[in-house]
């Protein structure tokens, strides 16, 4: 597996946000943490497991939480940002307090 670099991840999330019509979190520290989380996950697992959810270390079992996850679109539509706050609706004003949103992913049994 080819390892990714920090820049690769940055490029990837920029591409996704452009393609989906979202924007990235503008807080540099949060963004940096999320990029590092995605980078670590990719280089450990071989896929971009969500940086704020636990992996089951199986691509099939984790497929709904490979970034951008299955829950990002409805979360961004409803709350203005995804569960990790990586991607935001373009009209979301980040001066507002960003509260933790409910986990839309069904519990794993
Ligand atoms: S919650 Fe956000 S960062 Fe996490 S996988 Fe979904 S889109 Fe990616």
At 62 the pLDDT is: 98
- Ligand 1 pocket check: which of 22, 47, 68, 78 to mutate, most ligand atoms within 8 Å of Cβ? 68
Q: Where does the pLDDT of residue 101 fall: very low under 50, low under 70, confident under 90, or very high at 90 and above?
A: very high
Q: Where does the pLDDT of residue 84 fall: very low under 50, low under 70, confident under 90, or very high at 90 and above?
A: very high
Question: pTM value?
Answer: 0.96
In the chain, what are the domain boundaries?
6-89
100 Cα to the center of ligand 1, angstroms: 13
Strand boundaries in the chain, DSSP class E: 22-24, 87-89
1 Cα to the center of ligand 1, angstroms: 22
For domain 6-89, the question of CATH label 3.30.230.10 is answered with no
107 Cα to the center of ligand 1, angstroms: 17
Q: Which atom of ligand 1 is nearest to the CA of 49?
A: 5
37-81 pLDDT, tens digit each? 999 999 999 999 999 999 999 999 999 999 999 999 999 999 999
Q: What CA–CA distances, in Å, run from 45 to 10, 12, 29, 77, 105?
A: 18, 17, 24, 29, 20
Q: Where does the pLDDT of residue 108 fall: very low under 50, low under 70, confident under 90, or very high at 90 and above?
A: confident
Q: Where does the pLDDT of residue 91 fall: very low under 50, low under 70, confident under 90, or very high at 90 and above?
A: very high
14-28 pLDDT, tens digit each? 999 999 999 999 999
At 1 the pLDDT is: 83
At 47 the pLDDT is: 98
Q: Closest residue (by CA) to atom 4 of ligand 1? A: 50
Ligand 1 pocket list (CB less than 6 A): 50-52, 65, 67-69, 72, 82-84, 86-87
The SS3 assignment for 79 reads helix
């Amino acid at each position: 597996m080819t390892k990714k670099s920090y820049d690769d991840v940055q490029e990837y999330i920029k591409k996704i946000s452009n393609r989906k019509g979202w924007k990235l979190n503008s807080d540099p520290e949060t963004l940096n943490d999320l990029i590092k989380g995605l980078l670590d996950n990719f280089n450990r697992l071989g896929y971009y497991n969500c940086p704020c959810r636990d992996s089951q270390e199986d691509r099939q079992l984790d497929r709904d939480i490979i970034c951008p996850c299955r829950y990002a679109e409805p979360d961004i539509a409803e709350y203005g940002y995804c569960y990790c706050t990586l991607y935001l609706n373009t009209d979301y004003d980040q001066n507002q307090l960003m509260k933790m949103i409910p986990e839309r992913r069904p519990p794993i049994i």
